[in-house]
Amino acid sequence: MENRSKSAASFRKKLRTWYKTHCRKLPWRENQDPYRIWISEVMLQQTTVQAVLPYYRLWIKLFPDVVSLSKAPLQKVLKAWQGLGYYQRAKNLHKASKIINDKFETQIPQNYEELRKLPGFGPYTTAAVLSFAFNKPYIALDANVRRVLMRLMSLEGEPNPNNDDALLQFLKSYLSRKGMSLLNQALMELGALVCRPKNPFCLLCPISEFCQAFEEGKQEVIPRPKKRNYAKIEAVVAIIRGNGKYLIQKRPPKGLLADLWEFPGGKRKAGEKLEEALQRELKEELSAETKKGKLLTKVHHTYTQFQVTLYAYECSLKNEPHLNKDHHKWVTLRALRRYPVPSGSAKIIKFLEKREKIHGQE
Ligand code: SF4
């Protein structure tokens, strides 16, 4: 027992010393501002630090605190999030900020149950905010920490939240309540910089002597990578212009890419030609008929759950489209920059901008 606590103390010391020397200087680590920690933790889910940094800086500039976020229009919030994916996260930040503003006098609650009830505060985000901002003794298990722990334990298989209890149990035997927050962050950083998914730098690892996978030579095969089967979708998009403006429409408020703006169009059905899909979609969405469209560009984008190929056709309509003022807008390309759009549509907009630059307004 004494040996065990001695080795746990040595584990903590090695990890702490390594972290103090090697941790990256990141903007959300400059102080313990709970709002900034909250925003960074939500952005970092499913996304790397490098990808998050420009989004985080812009976000803090636009919405420096809970109050400014709570008062911002949703469209501005979604626009700032554009490209990060999982837009529900941005909506939840927005909703939660309003509740914090109205019910908690702009202060992020420090109580687990209260915080957990706010939109978007799952077990991970709740533990991370309480631990990193308020030094509360909660452990936040992210993908990096899960991987490090699975390797330390030599636990085979895919990373699976069903194993979280076993991982927490194991980790608790090494941590003490005091300084838990710092050690939690140190494990995350170790996972990001040393115990990487592929080719971990075991020879540079401060806790290699505690690592069962390293001892068994299994660090490259634990954890087993998750299999990803992307659904492949093909969709047609109508580029409809009138008086130098483009017709865009708002997606429904629920479901995939909810509340974002896009060009009219939709999925091609099995056995349908692209032109046929275009005709059908325009009829369904705008009660409009189109003359034969001209294929302008084809773009691909991989979202988290599927890969899409968008075929953008320039169309001229034979009749007036049925429009709804809340869901359809005619906008110039310049004005379109203010609208949050899915990443696939953003690629089409880039194409149109380039075309206008070269040819001007045709
Ligand atoms: S020894 Fe290697 S596999 Fe084990 S924790 Fe360190 S970096 Fe990860």
The string of pLDDT tens digits covering residues 142-159 is 999 999 999 999 999 999
CATH topology for 139-227?
Answer: Endonuclease Iii, domain 2 (1.10.1670)
**Which part of the chain has CATH 1.10.1670.10?**
139-227
| H-only helix segments in the chain | 2-22, 34-44, 49-62, 66-71, 74-81, 88-103, 112-116, 123-134, 143-153, 164-172, 180-193, 212-216, 274-286, 333-336, 343-359
Average pLDDT of the residues in 235-252: 94
Check pLDDT > 50 for residue 13. yes
User: Does residue 242 sit in helix, strand or coil?
Assistant: strand
Check pLDDT > 60 for residue 362. no
**Which part of the chain has CATH 3.90.79.10?**
231-359
| Cα 362 from Cα 346, distance rounded (Å) | 21
Would you call 307 exposed, middle or buried from its count of C-beta atoms within 10 A (0-12, 13-18, 19+)? middle
Question: Domain spanning 33-134: which CATH class is it, in words?
Answer: mainly alpha
- Whether 8 and 174 have beta carbons less than 8 Å apart is answered as yes
| Top mutation candidate among 148, 171, 174 for ligand 1, by most atoms within 8 Å of CB | 148
Pocket of ligand 1 (CB under 6 A): 148, 151-152, 194-195, 200, 202, 205, 207-208, 211, 213-214, 219
Nearest CA to ligand 1 atom 3: 219
Which of 77-81, 97-101, 179-183 has the least mean pLDDT? 179-183
Greater model confidence, 33 or 306: 33
- Whether 317 and 292 have beta carbons less than 8 Å apart is answered as no
Residue 328 forms beta bridges with which residues? Answer: 249
CA of 152 to the centre of ligand 1 (A): 7
Average pLDDT of the residues in 250-255: 90
Return the percentage of the chain with pLDDT > 70, whole number.
98
Nearest CA to ligand 1 atom 4: 211
Q: Is 343 left (phi over 0), alpha (psi -120 to 50) or beta?
A: alpha
What pLDDT was estimated at residue 5?
61
**Which part of the chain has CATH 1.10.340.30?**
33-134
What atom in ligand 1 is closest to the CA of residue 201? 7
Check pLDDT > 70 for residue 212. yes
| Top mutation candidate among 146, 150, 151 for ligand 1, by most atoms within 8 Å of CB | 151
| Cα 46 from Cα 253, distance rounded (Å) | 23
Check pLDDT > 60 for residue 10. yes
Average pLDDT of the residues in 296-319: 91
What is the four-CA torsion angle of 293, 297, 301, 307, rounded to 10 degrees? 50
From 166, 186, 145, 158, select the one nearest 22 (Cα to Cα).
186
Angle between helices 143-153 and 180-193 (to 10 degrees): 90
pLDDT tens-place string over residues 107-134: 999 999 999 999 999 999 999 999 999 9
What pLDDT was estimated at residue 361?
59
Nearest CA to ligand 1 atom 2: 202
Residue holding tokens 């115990």?
A: 195
Angle between helices 49-62 and 74-81 (to 10 degrees): 150
| Cα 208 from Cα 42, distance rounded (Å) | 30
Q: What is the CATH number of domain 231-359?
A: 3.90.79.10
- Give the predicted TM-score (pTM) of the model: 0.85
Q: What amino acid positions are annotated as catalytic residues?
A: 41
What atom in ligand 1 is closest to the CA of residue 208? 1
Residue holding tokens 């492949």?
A: 232
Average pLDDT of the residues in 233-253: 94
What pLDDT was estimated at residue 1?
47
Amino acid, res. 130: L
